[in-house]
Structure 1
Amino acid sequence: MKKIIAMMVLVVMSATLMIGCGTKETAAEKEPVTEKTSNELTKVVISEFRNLSWLPVYVAYQNGYFQEEGLAPEFVLYKDGPIAFQGMHGGDSQFCLLSQEPVLKAEQEGLDSSIIYSVLDTRLYGFVGAKDIKSVKDLKGQAIFAGMPGSAPYSFVSAILKEGGLDPQKDVTFVNLDYSASMTALSQGKIKASYINVDNRIEIQSMDVNMLVDTSNPADAAKYLKADVFTGEIITTTGEFASKNPEVVQDFVNAVHKGTKWINEHSAEEVAKLVAPLFQGMEEDVLAKKITILKGAITKTGYISEESQTAVENFAIKNGVINASIPYNQIIDMQFVKTIK
């Protein structure tokens, strides 16, 4: 099977539970997962693009839960989810934190993955316009931000544009930005609308903008996601790795689930204090406000039901990510969630 090679890496952060966090400019060396550290922990590498949606993983890291399960994790940071996913399939990591859309698309194209855990029970996405943008139709001929093509935000915004009567490929211009720069670009008039996640919801409170779509609103969730439970933000590994290393995958899921449980048992302020070192440049009180918004969507179980998966697939089919349903057991592997220790 031909592997997709990662196109670019903006930053690589190598971090282990024994030695703390460090930063380097080149991709992590490809080392076998069976490599042991000096105290017999198994090294695992996680591709990601650092976003609060994957909070259970960061809590597990900060609390030492991976170490308790015999693992030594390292994070490799990329610009966006699809590139992180390509990095995993290119051999740079064993696990990836991203949304389902790139995984579904790759699966249909023959690149086998196993989705092993869901971190959120719904998708807290939004779409915000400049003060002179009163509706989606006002965006015709304008520049907008929606992540990179193939990403979940891009699919989400494309769905909104279609619902508003616009052709995403003809009626707007998608601008390439870092997620962290989108609100600045919006405030400076460089773009007229932007996708927002939980990370942006605090910032827009002080901006003169119009919220066009907000899936934390039940009406918008029903209109665009078509489901109350939408397990779009997930953790995945390759099908080959899951089949050859089930013990490692189980240990990984065990650790993440401990992080999930800890979040659900502690306040947003306590969670913010714990993970603040991983979100440098963000004030702890602001981080706590963001986590407060996110907390209600955090999974309790990590489980993806067939009903929820159908909702995700229907969304992906409607928006051209895939052209047909993928059998549940072909891509969703809940055996590790079912046997969490």
Structure 2
Amino acid sequence: MNKRFIKFTKIALLFTLAMSIFAGCANNSGTQSEGSAQEEQKEMTKVVVSEFRGMNYAAVHIADALGYFEEEGIEVEFAVYGDGPVAFQGMHAGDSQFCMLSIEPVFRAFDEGLESKVVAALDTTRLYGFAGSKDITEISQLKGKTVFAGAPGSAPYSFIWSILEEGGLNPAEDVTFAQMQYGASMAALEQGTIDASYMDHYNRNKFSAIGANFLVDGADMETKKRVFGSEKFEGSIITATKKFVDENPETVQSFINGVAKGAKWLTSHSDEEVAEVLMPYHDGSTKEDLIERISLIKIAYSPDLKISEEGYEAMENFSLKTGVLKNKVGYENIIDMRFVEQAQ
């Protein structure tokens, strides 16, 4: 066999080997690319969350901003309503899968045969307040006056109704309830259009700046016990219809997993850091304004999203006292903490 043939054979073999290696690499590269593409094309589960936007729901907005829902395979869209009961009606009408609001409308709906499940609590206590104009220093002075208490059926409305009764007034006859947006009540109080207003605690400093008198201070523990029956009152909640929870437990778990991450981040970072993340969710608010609000309400943020038996009893009893409920509901019929417990 001549040397030229041997040399040609070696070259051919080397060429064949090189082509095999190249083909193998190409196949591997193709498999990896296809795998990456499949991961990128993995379908996210979209959920709509109806809400009456407020500082109470910061953990959910943080989870959205920091990508915690995306990590869980959830794509969240928020539907913002002018009041909690309206947002809740939107959920039961099929416009959303979850709703963030106060617990009272959920109680009322259950009493009327509309079943929901409360799957998380975003606060540990209620910080509602009631402020009077410069001339109003006592509840009894509100007879014949105009007050703002939010929409009928809402948690603020029930709270103010209870306060008026406690002050010796008949809310149905002795006062006129003004209807307006929550953000307009402070200006109305300052201008004298109304004589007293419901007050979120995180707006306390703003009410103080216009010279309002604090008729009820929701941050005072003795006041809490007197009005609500307990310091614990986990009233800012996330709910879904019973049907959705029963049929989509994996989606509920993934959503609550994201919220739990948001709650953990919220309770372990500074007011300034929290304000920075929440800026896109509060149009018109400056960073300084948000820092002030967070500093006033952070004592109520829930670290574990749970509803205690004591807190539930206080919420149920308060709803019975204010006429939101006609009959007891029972913790196990409306509260579902298994997703929160799994998230922990």
* TM-score normalised by length of structure 1: 0.88
Please name the residue that 2:52 is paired with: 49
* 1:108-138 deviation per Cα after TM superposition (whole angstroms, max 9, x unaligned): 1100000000000000100000010010000
Please name the residue that 1:187 is paired with: 190
What secondary structure does 1:137 align onto? helix
What secondary structure does 1:97 align onto? strand
Percent identity, please.
48
Please name the residue that 2:254 is paired with: 251
Please name the residue that 1:13 is paired with: none
Alignment match of 1:162 (pick from 162, 165, 169): 165
Separation of aligned partners in 2, 1:87 and 1:152: 17
Please name the residue that 2:141 is paired with: 138
Contact kept? 1:131, 1:208, Cα under 8 Å: yes
| Mapping 1:300-311, distance limit 5 Å | 300-311=303-314
1:301 is displaced (CA, Å) by 0.9
Aligned pair in 2 of structure 1 residues 160, 40: CA closer, same or farther (>3 Å)?
Answer: same
* 1:5-46 deviation per Cα after TM superposition (whole angstroms, max 9, x unaligned): xxxxxxxxxxxxxxxxxxxxxxxxxxxxxxxx9641110000
Uncovered stretches (5+) of structure 2, i.e. residues with no partner: 1-39
Contact kept? 1:202, 1:286, Cα under 8 Å: no
Please name the residue that 2:263 is paired with: 260
Is residue 213 from structure 1 mapped to residue 213 from structure 2 by the alignment? no
**Number of residue pairs the alignment of both structures matches:** 305
* 1:42-92 deviation per Cα after TM superposition (whole angstroms, max 9, x unaligned): 100000111001111111111111111100000011110000000000000
What secondary structure does 2:289 align onto? helix
Is residue 100 from structure 1 mapped to residue 100 from structure 2 by the alignment? no
Is residue 114 from structure 1 mapped to residue 117 from structure 2 by the alignment? yes
Contact kept? 2:218, 2:224, Cα under 8 Å: yes
Alignment match of 2:62 (pick from 59, 64, 74): 59
Contact kept? 2:202, 2:296, Cα under 8 Å: no
Please name the residue that 1:276 is paired with: 279
Alignment match of 1:71 (pick from 61, 71, 74): 74
Contact kept? 2:62, 2:266, Cα under 8 Å: yes
Q: Point out the structure with max Rg over C-alpha.
A: 2
What secondary structure does 2:208 align onto? helix
Is residue 81 from structure 1 mapped to residue 84 from structure 2 by the alignment? yes
Separation of aligned partners in 2, 1:333 and 1:182: 35
Contact kept? 1:84, 1:96, Cα under 8 Å: yes
For 1:91, give the aligned amino acid: G
What secondary structure does 1:149 align onto? coil
Separation of aligned partners in 2, 1:39 and 1:62: 21
What secondary structure does 1:223 align onto? helix
For 2:225, give the aligned amino acid: A
1:199 is displaced (CA, Å) by 4.0
Alignment match of 1:151 (pick from 151, 154, 161): 154
Alignment match of 1:90 (pick from 93, 112, 132): 93
Separation of aligned partners in 1, 2:290 and 2:41: 35
1:100 is displaced (CA, Å) by 0.6
1:277 is displaced (CA, Å) by 1.2
Is residue 173 from structure 1 mapped to residue 176 from structure 2 by the alignment? yes
Please name the residue that 2:20 is paired with: none
For 2:204, give the aligned amino acid: R
What secondary structure does 1:330 align onto? helix
For 1:74, give the aligned amino acid: E
Separation of aligned partners in 1, 2:239 and 2:41: 27
Please name the residue that 1:286 is paired with: 289
Q: Structure 1: which 4+ aligned runs deviate by more than 2 Å? A: none
What secondary structure does 2:197 align onto? strand
What secondary structure does 2:327 align onto? coil
* TM-score normalised by length of structure 2: 0.87
